[in-house]
Amino acid sequence: MPHPDLRLLTDLDREHVLHPISEFRTHEKKGARIVTGGEGIWLELGDGRRVIDGFSGLFNINVGHGRREIADAVHRQMQEVAYYPAFWDFSTEPAIRLAERIAGLLPADRELGHFLFTSGGSEANETAFRVARAYQAVRGAPGRNKIISRRHAFHGITRAAGSATRLPAYHIFTSTDSDHIETAAPYCFRCEFGETPDRCSLECAGAVEETIEREGPDTIAAIIVEPVMGTGGILVPPDGYFERLQEICRAYDILLILDEVVTGFGRTGRWFGMEHWDIHPDIMCFAKGVTSGYLPLGGLAISDRVYTAMRDDTPEGVPFMVGLTYNNHPSCCAAALANLEIVEREGLVTNARVVGEQLRKRLAEELADHPKVADVRGVGMLVAIECCEPGGKEPVGGEPMSYPAEVSHRCYDRGLIARALWENVALAPPLCTSPEEADQIADLVIAVLKEIG
């Protein structure tokens, strides 16, 4: 059933609402797609249609739509105390319980035991940079200010997090801060060193060391990396990459900040992306899947080593100078606790691994002969189909939109949200996707790709 006020809402949206990653003129012409409800992997729209949410919103609706128990948990918390700041020594039960809960989900040998919650991923990364710089300063290296990030990285869009984001599209009208330095990325399909997987000797990790040497090790506070680069195009690093990166960080006393905003809480088929490669970060940032988007929440965990240094080496009388009004928000933490309970009870981490593998395998097999499909990759519930001109690596030209955008549009017309990410068609369905639903998604994408040719 179409929403009774669909027309009015569309007009009002056009008149008053701005949308990220949209062109104003196109939006005025086309109008908004108004979301009215959802259940599981399905989304209900104002025009009465139902579509599959094949990207979990923005990689985040891990438990799927319509989970009443999260709403109930938030309702209960709001009736007790909806919000109080976490500044100074104030605390609330949900924040305490959530910190303890996540500490218990992380592999014990990572020793990531102290948490600060934010309202999202950008804020978590911003705060991580502050912590890294403070850590270096209290240990006697105040000149260690620079943050290294990698080409194709996405770490958010606020000032410092945005400077660590190294996708040119985000910097058309904004410069990046000069204390943010770019290095190579492990984009195997488009290896910037011209290597192939059989000849790779981890040149992209070696390039990090060259960057450090060039900039001067004594000027660098930290490097920030995603375990699997999400927005950059679902880039899975080669084996050995993280081991090498960690050696370099240790050798130069540079903190490793792991951005698990996309990969955390089951998305990759493990609780955390770090588990695929035995990564031991000094700081881990997260957001998205921690609440499945039911309320905004992100955060960071710092390792015992960093915590101890900050505690013992900070001069007396100097407090931990971070602080966002909504740090450790109790209602958002209550949503996270209820969400994690669902992930655990329903075995969604394992489901993401098994069903994600099924989806990727089917796409890889059935698109193997497609002239414009050059690579199908991913891990867990993250899948990218990289599209190129036949036989090469040139992006597929297309008018008026790119080939992946056209695929995405046609998928939507047939009832599936799939996202165009640069040269890729990307899928990241909710972790609760069943094997049958994964087949339905695969059928649809394969049909569209074959139809366009």
Q: Where does this chain bind ligand PLP (CB under 6 A)?
A: 58, 120-122, 125, 154-156, 226, 230-231, 259, 261-262, 287, 298
Q: Give the integer Cα–Cα distance in Å for 63 and 41.
A: 9
Distance in Å, CB of 156 to ligand PLP, minimum = 3
Report residue 255: phi and psi, to 5°: -75, 145
Q: Based on CB atoms, which residue is closest to ligand PLP, 296 or 330? A: 296
Output the DSSP codes for 287-356. -GGGTTTSS--EEEEEEHHHHHHHHHHSPTT-------TTTT-HHHHHHHHHHHHHHHHTTHHHHHHHHH
Q: Based on CB atoms, which residue is closest to ligand PLP, 35 or 137? A: 35
Q: Based on CB atoms, which residue is closest to ligand PLP, 256 or 396? A: 256
Distance in Å, CB of 353 to ligand PLP, minimum = 20
Q: Give the integer Cα–Cα distance in Å for 108 and 114.
A: 13
- Kindly tell me the burial class for residue 293, based on how many C-beta atoms sit within 10 Å of its own C-beta (0-12, 13-18, 19 or more): buried
With CB atoms as reference, the residue minimizing the distance to ligand PLP is: 121
Distance in Å, CB of 59 to ligand PLP, minimum = 6
Q: Based on CB atoms, which residue is closest to ligand PLP, 154 or 189? A: 154
Measuring CA to CA, which residue among 178, 180, 183 is closest to residue 151? 183
Q: Give the integer Cα–Cα distance in Å for 181 and 317.
A: 33
- E strand map for 19-119: 35-39, 42-45, 50-52, 112-118
Token code pair at residue 151: 């080409």
CB atoms within 10 A of CB 76: 12
Distance in Å, CB of 430 to ligand PLP, minimum = 16
Distance (Å) of CA 313 to CA 85, 146, 309: 26, 21, 5
What does DSSP assign to residue 173? S
Contacts of 3 (CB under 8 A, 6+ apart): 9, 34, 36, 46, 47, 48
Distance in Å, CB of 260 to ligand PLP, minimum = 8
Q: Based on CB atoms, which residue is closest to ligand PLP, 46 or 237? A: 237
What does DSSP assign to residue 175? P
Distance in Å, CB of 300 to ligand PLP, minimum = 11
Q: Based on CB atoms, which residue is closest to ligand PLP, 297 or 306? A: 297
Q: Based on CB atoms, which residue is closest to ligand PLP, 46 or 299? A: 299
Q: Based on CB atoms, which residue is closest to ligand PLP, 280 or 288? A: 288
Distance in Å, CB of 358 to ligand PLP, minimum = 24
Distance in Å, CB of 5 to ligand PLP, minimum = 29
Distance in Å, CB of 56 to ligand PLP, minimum = 12
Q: Based on CB atoms, which residue is closest to ligand PLP, 117 or 403? A: 117
Distance (Å) of CA 126 to CA 159, 270, 300, 353: 8, 26, 10, 31
Contact status, residue 127 vs residue 300, Cβ threshold 8 Å: yes
